[in-house]
Chain A
């Protein structure tokens, strides 16, 4: 069975601070996919990134960066120089096979990030 744990339920930072959201996963499969989604107050889930288990290269996109480490089964998300607009709930998710095969995402419990001005 697969499981995703986001131990931080809520994080509060002051604008311009860097913040890292932790994600630890469990899976028995050697091929799997990891995702991060952002849920702003409006409720809609916004896709941020996907990563397959064979690609451990870290990724940077603007102020966002992701650190994938198979050795520790972690896929952490860092926001550099946080802004008030980054305030949202962030979900980490795992899929053990291609979604198009009918398999679903397993979500972590989410981390609520509050960025104060």
Chain B
């Protein structure tokens, strides 16, 4: 079965410090991978998605970046954190499934990393 890991689970960082959040997926090959951010009390915002190694698409311009050095590894980084970067970061992956209604797709989410920038 497939599993998605994220670490660290929680992180407290000072403003201006660097950031590296890691996400890995097990049990599947060539998944689409996604990074979302959820600010306190708000909905989810897609930050980046990747359809393959080295392929990154950015949805929101900001001081964050993403990389996919391996098929099942997705990294979210920043050189200098801002206060506004605080939030709950979720990694997700997607796969096609066949159902009586045809071919569909669903997205599975990791446990998340809660980042507090002070």
Contact = CB atoms under 8 A, between A and B. Distances in A.
Interface string A50-62: 1010110000000
B44 to A, nearest CB: 4
Contact of B94 (A91, A99, A109, A110): A99
Contacts of A106: 46
B102 A52 contact: yes
B7 interface: no
A98 B103 CA distance: 9
Nearest to A112: B41
Interface residues of B, number: 30
Interface string B102-118: 11111111111010000
Interface in B22-64: 32, 34, 42-46, 49, 51, 57, 59
A44 B112 contact: yes
Interface string A20-64: 000000000000010101000011111100101011000000000
Interface residues of A, number: 26
Interface in A81-117: 91, 95, 98-100, 102, 104-110
Given A105-B46, A107-B44, A108-B43, A43 B88 contact: yes
Contact of A55 (B51, B101, B106): B101
B11 interface: no
If over half of B's interface residues share one DSSP class (helix, strand or loop), that class is named, otherwise mixed; here it is strand
A39 to B, nearest CB: 8
A99 B107 contact: yes
A61 to B, nearest CB: 14
B12 interface: no
Contacts of B101: 52, 54-55
Given A100-B95, A102-B49, A109 B42 contact: yes
Contacts of A98: 96, 103-105
Interface of A: 33, 35, 37, 42-47, 50, 52, 54-55, 91, 95, 98-100, 102, 104-110
13 contacts: A47-B109, A50-B104, A54-B101, A54-B102, A95-B105, A98-B104, A98-B105, A99-B32, A99-B94, A99-B106, A100-B96, A105-B107, A107-B45
